[in-house]
Structure 1
Amino acid sequence: MRATLRWAHSDLRTHRGEALFLVLATAGIVVSLLLATALFGYATNPWQRVFTQAHGAHVTLHTTASADADRLAGLDGVRSVAGPYPTSSLTFASQGGRASVEVRGTRDRPEVGRPILTSGHWLDPATPDGVVLESDLARALLTAPGDTLTVPGTARQFTVVGVVDSAEPRFRPGERAGLVWALPSAVPDPDGQVIGLRLADPGDTGYAVQRAVTELGAGAIGEVATWQQARADAQGDNRLLGQVLGLFGLGALVAAGFAVHGAITTRIRGHLRDISVLKAIGFTPGQVVRVFLIQHLGYALLGAVAAAALTEALGGFVPGRLGDAVGVWQGLPGHTAALFVVPVGAVLFIGATTGLAAWRAGRVPPVPVPRPAAAPAGRLSGAARRALGTRVPPALVLGWHKAFTRRQRSLGAVARLALPLLLIVVALSAWTTIDRFHSAPERIGLPAALSVRSDASLDDGEARELLESDPQVAAAHPGVEVAALVPGQTATIALRGYGTHEDPYPFALAEGRPAHGPDEAVAGQGLLDLLHVRVGDWVRMTVGDRPQILHIVGRSIEPENAGRVISTSLDTLRANDPEMRPGHYQVRLEPGADPAEVAARIAAQGRGHLDVHTVANPADGLSPLRAVVLGLVAVLALIGLVELLTAIGGTVREGERDLLALKAVGLSPRQITAVTVTATAGTALAAVLLATALGLPLAHWLIDAQGRSSGIGAGIARLPSPALLVLLGTAAVLGAAALAAVPAARAARRRLADTLSAVA
């Protein structure tokens, strides 16, 4: 055991830099995997906890005020119901802004879909104007219990008495109304009602919706929300961040395993004589294997323990969503198990790759095998000889020859170095795609900067004149948005009519063509997947009692409503329903205009008749991904450094036998150094070219696959610019050359006696 430790200590002193990079790379990999685990827990568990505590409804149906929703309680599979509650759509205003809300009239706190109080108290008849707000709405309005809310354009006022958490789809300004609970007296003229169904089998959601529509009639159903939609909405961007971290963490772990395998294999080739001596003096094959295994397991264990300790101690202090995720994850039941399993799994994987490489050391014979007088591929190729004949510097020719003559070793070194570079290319593609969301939102389905809703007191002409009077408004496209039942009546989708035939709305298309003719429409990826249709198909949906048949001529990029959107022109919808009145406007601004300032001006000019919101960009929720990408690039760079150090060490060690011959033909120490530097730079250049050739299509496929799975659709990927790729490749090649220069120069100036001993 003492001899084993002495050997490991001697090897550590010789390869300190490589050991440090392995420890740091392992720590970075384990941190990324732990953060991915935390984000997955943060994305799912809080909503699941609220849903369980609230005894949440699996299906929430919005119906007309005259529908007999009580009959739904008798449907097969319905265990219990919440409501029906009368509802009224209002706009609340406070010092924090304005928001569209759905006020539900109820006296008692419901048992199904029971809101979880976070502050204040439930409704009390002693406060007839009291309301309880969902937490997302309360944060948007900057209100707390005791504050007063007003209804613009009226004298009505409400007092906030409580704030609750709800398991229903969360409030999103301009897209989904916030939930408000009030006494029935506060809803004197309801415009609808809502009922929640708790099912015996949550998997029967689609069937339950179909039965409910059949029972009440399609004209009585306004909107359907399911527990799956609420869960996906609550997970939001957190799950995407977790997937990115997990994917790159696993990729980096594989790259680190290959780097360790290559390092040990190269080291074994350089210490064949020493290993033979160890066996000759009594070391067993198992002891030789344990020398390498214990050493690299120690590196991995040190990095994994450091990563777990740092994540546990400091993870909650990281600003933003990552810190919140770690704080929530630390309170979840599976936290301790994950904190143990993830580091142990990483260490075991690295140990497995280490064992495979170290097994070769155990097979080294105890009697040293004489080295061949010449390398198997030592003869120069015809191209190399012709290059020397054309006065190409010998160092370049010999360096290139050294890098690529031993095909198996050369391909292995290039592949191991290309893997972290490939992941860096994918990470940079993710960064570039996020930048595209910010710099060119019109190309990812967000041409409008403002979303404006007008009340009934303004007709279409007055509203558009008011909007377009602002000097920084480029266009105001009128439109409507209604909920439509899909074929089979198992869910609702968003049916939108934006723009007119004379002034079409600029949809961002990824496939097909714009909708110009009557009954033509474009649809999001989420809708195509939901209905199992493609571009070119006709679809039939129901809006109230009216069927709507549309021809899908294009696929649009839809970042809202999980892509379950079908869009046509306002003229097409009016042809089917002449009484349809536009009350929703998508406002495009002049370049350089500040959406917040324009929104404030328009709201002031509207004098309470316009509800103005800035359009939320999906990339805003992905801002933590920038820091994640930077951290992953740093970890991958460390792994690449380990592989480069391995390649340099192997090249220098194998060049010792050629040193006498190179000096004999007249090469100076500087030229001999250039041979090694050229060989290393050539390996790095081949790895860069391979990583770029494979990384770009892989990044495009991964980003588009994520877009399809989220409903946004393919076509959002943007690859790094050629300048950035050239900069990455140049940095990798020049860095490899710089790293190789010092050890190569030291080896080139070795004494002849040392060289003879190395060759012997």
Structure 2
Amino acid sequence: MSALGGVVRSGVGRRRVQTVVIGLVVMIAVSAAVLGGSLMVASRAPFDRAFAQQRGAHLTAQFDATRTTAAQLSASANATGVTAAAGPFPTASITPVDRRGREMESITVAGRADPGGPVDAVTPTEGRWVTGPGEIVLHTDSRLPEVLQPEVGDVLRLPDLPGSPTLTVVGVARSVSETAGGWVTPEQITALTAPGATGGYQMLYRFATDATATQVDAGRAAVEASVPAGALTGTRSWLTTRTNSAGNTVLLVPFLIAFGVLGVLMAILIIGNVITGAVSTGTHRIGILKALGFTPGQVVRAYLVQALIPAMAGAALGVVAGNLLIIPILAQTNEVYGTADSGVAPSVNIVVIAGALALVAVTAWAAASRAGRLRTVDVLAVGRTPGPGRGQWAARLAARLPLPRPVTLGLAHPFARALRSATIIAAIAFGAAAATFAVGLGTSLNKVQASESHGDVIVHPGGRMAKPPPGSGPGVAPGPPQAPDPVAVATAITAQAGTSGYSGAVETEVTTAGLTSALDTLALTGDNSSYGYEMVSGRWFTQPNEIVVAKPFLTATQTQVGDTIVLTSHGTQITVRIVGEAFNIQSRGMQILTAVATLTAAEPELRPMTYEITLKTGTDPAAYVEGLNTALASAGATAEIAEDEIPEVLIVINTLTTLLTLMLITVAALGVLNMVVLETRERVHDLGVHKALGMTPRQTIAMVIASVVVTGLIGGAIGAPVGVVLQKLIVGEMGRVTGFDLPASVINIYHPAELVLFGLGGLLIAVLGALLPAGWAARTRTATALRTE
């Protein structure tokens, strides 16, 4: 073995703490980087990746079956610019009634025997594909409210078609192009077409050029020119679908960038401090090596390799850990995005490993080259203990404090090595900032989720004691339900003990000039219809002809709070005033909130279909529902406890927040551990003197713990405000990229007492990192310490 190899092996074995800390820090940093980098890749253009994986349709076209034939449509696949096509698929529009007897939203169903094909490969997510008549597969991204979402096995009835046929839900599938609300066998379409209705065909196209609206329009024109005039009745561009798909899929990007920056900066600080400390404590040894004939280059290489050995081991373990951690998280993001990513991209592993080792190499080279350039005589004359006078002012000031002497000695220690203490303060600050940011982000997201919950109990049509009409057959729901008597329902709700407030709601649609699609409108009644809606600006409506909307509506209509617009409902024009902007994510922020009385001129029979009730504190929901159902039996309505489902993207973010925060706090604590070990080794002779003068093991522990109190408090005091600022920036950015203005209650979530606790979190990180070295120092024998120079 060469002399240089012996020096490297001796250094790695002798500095076990630094070796372990470097390995662990690199491992955690690489794990976090692989995790974050992989999710950054997964979050980058998720719709585009899912679109490519599923061979999405650049153009979804609808044709009039009376003006063209299937053969002519098949020939349109040869139109100029078309690279692939699927279809023709016969289509029909149906309005099913669900298992509870409630009319669902009308959907377009396509007759498709196979979910695959050259365009729009539909991906089943639950159940199976249709194999015969009487079966349907529903699109998983249906706009139906959650309480109306059918499940596999449900039977849907079609009362407006001859014979009231039924369809059994045999599966749920995803179409990235959103080409249909459901799929049946092609033979089933004839039975699903209403008498007198015009049949239709659907064709799906992919174009050679599709990046801009102009290119897609050119492809559309070529397709239209290849079929008989008037046959094309409607189209949908993939660019429109991509715009509408944004939503939650972009939330992870600013979140991951924030944690990624924190992790990288902290890793740089800790690794730099560990390696610099290892070189500084080995300065005397460097002098001996130079006296034995080692050149400055050999000294630098020796310490570079000593740092790279644990770094390479840590990087290898970190890559393995990161790949293992990403598997379950990618399973969740695949569900959110509709993608099929199975693991980490190799490029992420390569970049992360190369970056981590380069960071360690540069830091080690910078620290070792400085010591390698010193003259041998100067290096040999350097002691490990700080020179006299460094930090003496702090020692004198601490001695005046009414505290035990071991504690005051510890409090003064950080000021003897100001630069080293500053780097540890920065690391602790990052750890405290990560914890503050993580808790704040989780709280903000939970408040966003809570904004979708408007009651503890929900009342909907369909009494539990109601029986199907004679001849309807077993398992077949009765006809479409009628809205329950609002007076009877309101009387039952208000008379029930435990009621705090309630609101009735009915969904309808209106149109307005400038927008091509109908607008979902929620008409409300009751005594607390604003419950759960956070106001961003303006006020809640208080009388008819006033509406409350969200930011996307204001953006789309180029209006602001205070403006008036004209809505059209059933041919009747209604002039309304926008009196407030609420945080409402329903219908991607395009839902209108107003009073039922606003629309009664156009819809005289409009009345609430569902009621949402808030309960008084301490009320048992189960007992309340049981009692209310007894009162509602004669009203043809049913009450049940409202259940809120946590969105998958929120589960992903909460999981990542907890995981990455624990990683950053661990890295910060390892940095403190390394600093305390260095301080203890540099002052081991002083420690022996203290022990010889009567310092007990408990006092030794107190002194070592006290040595990190100042750095912990300062780091926490800096980190907590940084975490608050970071939380506000990231949450605000999440709102911006989704097109919403967030209410103050979602952004300003910290209380002064909580900030004090987060600030003390820096002290907790410091103390956790100092516990092991404090125990080692307490167990050091006095004679051993006194012999150490």
Give TM-score, length-normalised by structure 1.
0.75
Preserved CA contact (<8 Å) 2:92 2:189:
no
List aligned pairs for 1:249-648, cutoff 5 A: 249-310=260-321, 316=327, 321=332, 331=342, 335-369=345-379, 370-371=381-382, 374-380=387-393, 385=396, 388-389=399-400, 391-404=402-415, 407-436=418-447, 441=450, 443=451, 446-447=454-455, 450=458, 452=460, 462=485, 465-466=488-489, 469=492, 475-482=502-509, 484=511, 487=514, 489=515, 492=517, 494-500=519-525, 504-506=529-531, 507-517=533-543, 519-531=545-557, 534-536=560-562, 550-574=576-600, 577=602, 579=604, 581-582=606-607, 584-590=609-615, 592-593=620-621, 616-619=644-647, 621-648=649-676
The answer for the alignment partner of 2:467 in structure 1 is: none
Alignment partner for residue 700 of structure 1, among 718, 722, 728? 728
CA contact (8 A) 2:523 2:596 kept: yes
Q: Give the corresponding residue for 1:150.
A: 157
CA deviation string 1:222-258 (max 9, x = no partner): 9997645644776775654576456424532331221
Counterpart of 2:192, as a letter, is: A
Cα 1:671–1:431 shift into 2, 3 Å:
same
Q: Identify the residue that residue 109 of structure 2 maps to in structure 1.
A: 104
Amino acid of the structure 1 residue aligned with 2:377: V
- Counterpart code for 2:507: V
The structural deviation recorded for 1:394 is 3.4
Q: CA deviation at 1:680?
A: 1.5
Structure 1 residue matching 2:584: 3-state secondary structure: coil
Over the matched positions of the two proteins, sequence identity in percent amounts to 20
The alpha-carbon deviation at position 165 of structure 1 amounts to 4.1
Deviations 1:406-460 (A, max 9, x none): 544432221122112211221222333455567xx2x566447648589997665
Q: Which whole-Å deviations, capped at 9, do the CAs of 1:241-296 have from their partners, x for residues lacking one?
A: 57645642453233122110111122222222222332333334343333343333
Deviation at 1:462, TM superposition (A): 2.0
Measure the CA separation in 2 of the matches of 1:273 and 1:326: 58
Q: Helix, strand or coil for the counterpart of 1:427?
A: helix
Q: Do 1:224 and 1:492's aligned partners in 2 also have CA atoms closer than 8 Å?
A: no
Matches within 5 A, 1:212-223: none
Q: Find the counterpart in structure 1 of residue 176 from structure 2.
A: 167
Q: What is the identity, as a one-letter code, of the residue corresponding to 2:591?
A: V
**CA offset at residue 60 of structure 1?**
8.9
Asked if the contact 2:38–2:348 (Cα under 8 Å) also holds between the matched residues in 1, the reply is no
Deviation at residue 648 of structure 1 after TM alignment:
0.6
Q: Which residue of 2 aligns with 1:40?
A: 43
Instruction: Specify the SS of the correspondent of 1:183.
Output: helix
Gaps of 5+ in 2: 65-75, 222-232, 463-477
Report the CA distance between 1:679 and its aligned residue: 1.8
The 8 Å contact of residues 513 and 554 in structure 1, kept in 2 or not, is answered as: yes
Structure 1 residues 753 and 661: CA distance shift in structure 2, 3 A: closer
On the 8 A contact 2:11/2:306 being kept in 1, the answer is yes
- Deviation of 1:509 after TM superposition, in Å, equals 1.5
Q: CA separation of 1:86/1:98 partners in 2, compared to 1, >3 Å: closer, same or farther?
A: closer
Aligned position for 1:28:
31
Q: Name the aligned partner's letter for residue 565 of structure 1.
A: Q
Whole-Å separation in 2 of the counterparts to 1:36 and 1:708:
20
Structure 1 vs Structure 2 CA RMSD: 5.5
Residues 498 and 505, structure 1, Cα contact 8 Å, conserved in 2: no
How much does 1:628 deviate?
2.9
| CA deviation profile, 1:88-112 (whole Å, cap 9, x unmatched) | 32224399x9965514376999999
Q: Quick one: structure 1 residues 113 and 713, their matched pair in 2 at CA, closer, same or farther if it must change by over 3 Å?
A: farther
Identify which of 765, 769, 776 aligns with 1:732.
765
Q: 1:571 to 1:169 in 2, by over 3 A?
A: farther
Aligned AA for 2:765?
Answer: A
1:634 alignment partner AA: L
Sort the Cα spacing of 1:532 and 1:122 in 2 relative to 1 into closer, same or farther, 3 A.
Answer: same
- Please name the residue that 2:6 is paired with: 3
Q: Given that residues 300 and 347 in structure 1 are in contact (C-alpha distance below 8 angstroms), is that contact kept between their aligned partners in structure 2?
A: yes
**In structure 1, what is the Cα distance between the partners aligned to 2:665 and 2:716?**
13
Aligned equivalent of 1:134:
139
Aligned with residue 21 of structure 2, among 18, 21, 27: 18
Taking structure 1 as reference, are residues 462 and 94 closer, same or farther at Cα in structure 2, changes over 3 Å only?
closer
Letter in 2 for 1:462: D
Is the deviation greater in 715-724 or in 131-140?
A: 131-140
Answer whether contact 1:445 1:556 (CA < 8 A) is retained.
no
Unaligned runs of 5+ in 1: 64-72, 172-176, 213-221
Cα deviation digits, residues 693-716 of structure 1 (max 9, x gap) = 221232233223223323454232
Q: Deviations over 1:131-175 (max 9, x none)?
A: 45436679964437xx8643479843235688754234599xxxx
Give SS of 2:612's match.
strand
Which of residues 93, 108, 111 is equivalent to 1:87? 93
Residue number among 118, 122, 125 corresponding to 1:116 in the alignment: 122
Equivalent residue letter for 1:641: A
- Whether 2:188 is the aligned partner of 1:188: answer no
* Cα deviation, residue 581, structure 1: 2.6
CA distance in 1, matches of 2:172, 2:458: 28
**Equivalents in 2 of 1:486, 1:654: separation in Å?**
77
Between the aligned partners of 2:558 and 2:48, the Cα distance in structure 1 is 31
SS in 2 for 1:90: coil
Q: How far has the Cα of 1:114 moved from its partner?
A: 5.3
Contact 2:121/2:175, CA 8 A, preserved across alignment: yes
Q: Greater CA deviation, 251-260 or 450-459?
A: 450-459
Corresponding residue SS for 1:693: helix
Shift of 1:636: 1.6
Equivalent residue for 1:714, pick from 742, 753, 768: 742
Q: In 2, Cα distance between the equivalents of 1:2 and 1:401?
A: 40
SS of structure 2 residue aligned to 1:424: helix
State the partner residue of 1:55: 57
CA contact (8 A) 1:536 1:551 kept: yes
Q: 1:354 to 1:607 in 2, by over 3 A?
A: farther
TM-score relative to the length of structure 2: 0.72
User: Are the structure 2 counterparts of residues 588 and 319 from structure 1 closer, same or farther at C-alpha, using a change threshold of 3 Å?
Assistant: farther
Q: Which moved more, 1:230-239 or 1:249-258?
A: 230-239
Q: 1:311 to 1:5 in 2, by over 3 A?
A: same
